[in-house]
Structure 1
Amino acid sequence: MAELSDLELLAELGVETTAEPKRALTPLQERIIAGFEDIQRFVAEHGHLPRHGDDRDIFERLYAVRLDRLRSLPEARELLAGLDRDALLDGNGPTAVAPQELGDDALLAELGIAPDAPDDITQLRHVAPRAEKRAAEEIANREKCEDFETFKPQIERVQADLAKGAREAKAVDQTEVTLEEIHPGNFFIVAGQMALIADTSDAFVTEYERKDRRVRVIYDNGTEATMLARSFQKALYRDETARRITALSAGPLFGDVAEPDDLASGTIYVLRSKSAHPYVAEHRELIHKIGVTGQSVAHRVANARNDPTFLLADVEVVAEYQLFNINRSKMEGLIHKALAAARLDLAAGDRFGRTVQPREWFLIPFQAIDDLISKISDGSVTQVRYDPMEARFVPAGT
C-alpha cells in the first residue's frame, strides 16, 4: 500500500484541509480598532485609564466616554479581545455605561464618525488607512461637536471677514505652517472645511523624541476632532487646496500702504480670555486685552494658560494691527491712556503664590477698539478718551 502524505491522511480522516480565508474587517470594525488604539496610546502616555470629570482635559474625557461605550458593546469586546493586551475592557476603572442596542449609524457617532449619508458607512472619509494611522498617528476620529453653538458665531464672523476682505486665505504650500501657529484661535481651511483650533493640551515628547501636543479642532459643519498638532500640520501639507486664514488686520498704521523703506515695529493685538472665572465668562464679549508686541502674536500668547498677565487661561486672538516706524512702548502708553477709564481691576496669582495685577484688560466692545485704531491711524488718539457711560470716545477735555 502506497504511503499517504500528511494532507492525504488528514483527508482520509475527514479533516478539512482548506485554509480558512482571512476575514476582512468592515469599515466599522476598522474604526472601532482605531478608536481603541487611541485609548491605548493615552494609557501608555499617561499611565492611567482616561477619566470622567469637568476638571479633566477635554481629550481625556472623550476617551473615557469611548472606553465606556466599547465596554458596553459585546461585539466590540469580541473584536478587540486579541488587541486588549492591558485588559482595558475588563471593567476596571471608570464606571461603564449600561449596555444598549445601537444601530450602525449610532455606533459610528459614538465612536467618532459623522456619516453624511446612509451609505457612507462603507467609506472612510477624512481618515487615513489604519496602517498609516498607526504608524504616523494621523487625524483622529471626527465627532459631533455638542457645544458647536459656542463656536458658531466666531466661525461666522471669520467667514464674514473673508467675504469683505478683512482677512485672507493664503495657500499653505506657499508659506510654512509651524506648530506654533496650530494654536487656539487660529483658523485654517482643510479638506474644503473651515477649521478652528479651539483647545490644546500641554506639550509632550513622542516615542520619536519630538515635541507634540493634542489639539481640539472644530469644523464649520458642526463636527470636531482631537488629533496631534503634527498630524494636523501634515494634513494641511497633503491638501493642495489647504489655506491658512490670516488674522483680522486693518493694515499698516499711519498710512494705507507700507513703503519699501518702512521698518516693521510690531503688532497691536486684541485678545479675549477663555478663563472660566464667573465675571470673565459673563462678560467675555466685552473684556479685551490690548497690547503691543514685537514678537509674532502666536508666540506672545503661546503660554497664556501659565501666565498671570493672561489670567492663567488660553485666549482668542480677535484682531492684529501691524505697526511701522512707531515706538512700541509709546504706542502702548497712548492706547492705555485713551482707555484708562475702561481698565478692569483684575488679579491672578503667579507660580510663586504672589498676586499679579494685569493692566492691559479693558471692558470695551470690539467696535470701540476698531474706532480707536482708526484714531491712531489719523493721529487723533491723543485728543480723545473713552467714556464707559456712553461706550464711545469723547474729546479728552470733557
Structure 2
Amino acid sequence: MAKGFTDEDDALLAELGVQAEAKKESSRTPREERIIAGFEEIQRFVEQHGRAPQHGEDRDIFERLYAVRLDRLRELADCRAVIEPLDHQGLLTGAQPAPLGVPEDINDDELLAQLGVDDTTPGGIAELRHVRSAADKRAAEEIANRQRCEDFDNFKPLFEQVQKELGAGLRQTRRFERKSEIAPGRFYILGGQKAYVATMEQPTVNEHGNIDARLRVIFDNGTESNLLMRSLQKALQQDPAGRRIVELSAGPLFSDQNEEGDEASGIVYVLRSKSDHPAVAAHRDVLHKIGVTGGDIARRLANAKLDPTFLMAEVEVVATYELFNINRTRLENLIHRIFGPARLDIEIKDRFGQPVIPREWFLVPLFVIDEAIEKIRDGTITGYVYDPKSARLVQRESGHTNIGG
C-alpha cells in the first residue's frame, strides 16, 4: 500500500487507472539540487536552439549566463559527478573553452553583476546596464556606416539656410525625446553634425510590431547614410547632445486689437517708393519695403530721401499692422525669410556716393503681404513659401525645405 493512502484509497485509484507510488525521500543536498536545476536550464536551452550556449556581447544575456555556468560545471569535478548521469546531450564532453577567470564560489547574482546586469532593477535579469544588445550594436553600425554624398551640392544650401535661421532666432534646437518624430524634410543634430532626412521609404511593421522605415539621411560634412528610422531614433536618444532643429511656432503673433494686459511692441509697415529709378518705376505697384519698428513711423520716414534704405526717395505708407508682446527683430526676420525669393536686387548710392544694397524691398503684391501676415497671425505660415513665378503663397512640398528663404 502506498504511504499515506488507505486500502479504500488504493482501490479507488486502481479503478481510475492511477498507480499511487510512495514518495521517495531525496538524498541530495540543497547545493546538488541547485546544480541540477541550473544544468536543466542549460539543457532546455539546447533543446530549443539545437546547440550549446555561447559567449559574446551579441548573445542574449540568458545565453551568456548559461555559457559561463556550463564552463564552471565542466571544470568542477564534484559538479560533474552530480550531473553526468543526466547529461544525455553530451554537454560535459563538449569543447573546452578558454579559461574565463571566474571564481569557483561565484553565484548567479554575482555573475550577472559581472555581466553588467543588476537583478534588483525593475526589469530584472533582462535589463542590461553596460552590455550593448545586438539591436544597439546594429544601430551604431548603421550610424557609423556612411558614404560620400554624390549630390551634396543640392543639400548644402539647406544646411547654410538652417544655420542662418538658427543664428537669427527663427529656429531652435530641442532635446530629442523618446516620443519625438522622425520625418522627411526635418533637421537633427547627431554626433555634433547636422543631419537632414531627405527621403523616407514606405513605412513597414517590423517583427516586434513597431513601425519602421528606411531613410536617406544627409550630414553636413558631405556624407550620407541609409538608416532605419528606429536606428536614427535610438542614436539621437543615446547621444547626450542629440537634438532636433525646429521652427518656432508663430502662434498669434499680433492682433489688430490688443487685449487687457498686452503691451504694445511695435508696428509692421509696408511702404511704396516714389523713386524715379528705372528698376523701381517699372515695378512700382508690386515693389514694397516691409519693416518693423517700435517707434513712430512718421519720424522713421522723415529723412527717407537721404537714406539708401528707402532708395534715396520719398515713400508712402500703404499698410500697417500693430503688434503686441512680440520680438520685433524675430518677426522681421521671419517676414524677410518668407519673401526672400522675391527680394529686389538693386544697388543705390548714398549721399556720399558709396554703393549700398538695400535688403528690405520685395517684388510682392500687397494682397500677398496681407495674406502672409494673416498666416503669421494664426500660426500656419511655416507651411507656406512664396513662389515668385506665380506671385502667391504656396504650400511646401512634403520633405522640401525652402532654400531661398
TM-score interval (norm. to shorter): 0.3 to 0.5
Q: Which structure has the greater CA radius of gyration?
A: 2
Provide TM-score, normalisation by structure 1. Answer: 0.36
Provide TM-score, normalisation by structure 2. Answer: 0.35
